[in-house]
Amino acid sequence: MYEKKIPLRLDCGLHLFKELLNGKWKLMLIYYISAGLKRPGELQRKIGTADRRVLTNQLNELVRHGFVDKKVFDTKVPKVEYVLTELGQSLVPIIVTLETWGEDNRTVLEKALQEQVEDD
């Protein structure tokens, strides 16, 4: 089993947030589920560049940590849908605020990202 080199810090809410919601697509998944996209295929089409396996892993982590519920329908062709829990719903205003901040600061952020790419 993998053992982290840096010990997990639980003394700060920001560390807890980062630990549970760290993942390239997790905040986007929560946002898109809140917007009505519930099926894995819909989520993958909306995000576009994400690998299906990575999305599935991150969705499973969101389920395990209580942000999302997974509903499995017993049909001839198995069907899965995701819905936000109360905890997941409580994150939506924060995600919307972050998205607005990103749009408001788009020029500066794009410049910083471009400089980072050029430095690498």
Please provide the distance, in angstroms rounded to a whole number, between the alpha carbons at the two ends of the chain. 33
Cα(81)–Cα(25) distance, integer angstroms: 17
**What average pLDDT score do residues 12-37 get?**
93
Residue given tokens 């991150």 in the structure block: 58
Instruction: Give the count of beta carbons closer than 10 Å to the beta carbon of residue 70.
Output: 14
Classify domain 13-119 at the CATH class level.
mainly alpha
Res 5 pLDDT > 80: no
- Give how far Cα 64 sits from Cα of 7, 33, 55, Å: 21, 16, 14
User: How sure is the predictor about 111, in pLDDT bands with cuts at 50, 70 and 90?
Assistant: very high
pLDDT (0 to 100) of residue 9: 76
Q: What is the mean pLDDT of the chain?
A: 92
Burial (Cβ within 10 Å: 0-12, 13-18, ≥19) of residue 46: middle
Exposure string over 79-111, b if 16+ CB within 10 A, otherwise e: eeebebeeebeebbeebeeeeeeeeeeeeeeee
User: How sure is the predictor about 19, in pLDDT bands with cuts at 50, 70 and 90?
Assistant: confident
The predicted-structure confidence for 51-101, as pLDDT tens digits, reads as follows 999 999 999 999 999 999 999 998 898 899 999 999 999 999 999 999 999
Res 31 pLDDT > 80: yes
